[in-house]
Amino acid sequence: MAPPGAAAHPHARVLAVDLRGHGQSTCELDSPDQLVADFERLVIDLDLRCPVILGHQYGGGIAAAVTAAYPLLWGALCVVDSPVISPQANYLGVWSSSRPPR
């Protein structure tokens, strides 16, 4: 079976990331800020160039917070079925340390 999204583009690499405390992740979530830092490390460690981040529902808020905190790391943001609003971003604890997307 092909990985999810493999047919989207023959040269694209699709990564499905389990957030801390979710899915098969063995890492505990102590702070929502850790989720944002995890994505920064992922992009740097894998040497990804202008990756597109997609978040669904709760993951959409995380994706928005990640791109707001590190806007130069990302090629694009796609949020699906998620209310990305200021109170959600404040809940994530990162909005105050970054500027909102334009």
- Listed by start position, the domains of the chain span 32-97
Residue 76 CA from chain centroid, whole number:
11
d(CA 43, CA 60): 17
Tokens encoding 39:
């994505």
Any residues with CB less than 8 A from the CB of 71 and at least 6 apart, and which?
98, 101
Contact between residue 55 and residue 76 where contact means Cβ atoms under 8 Å apart: no
Contact between residue 75 and residue 48 where contact means Cβ atoms under 8 Å apart: no
In order along its 102 residues, the chain shows pLDDT tens digits of 455 555 666 777 888 888 888 888 888 888 878 888 999 999 999 999 999 999 988 888 889 889 989 999 999 999 998 875 655 555 555 444 444 444
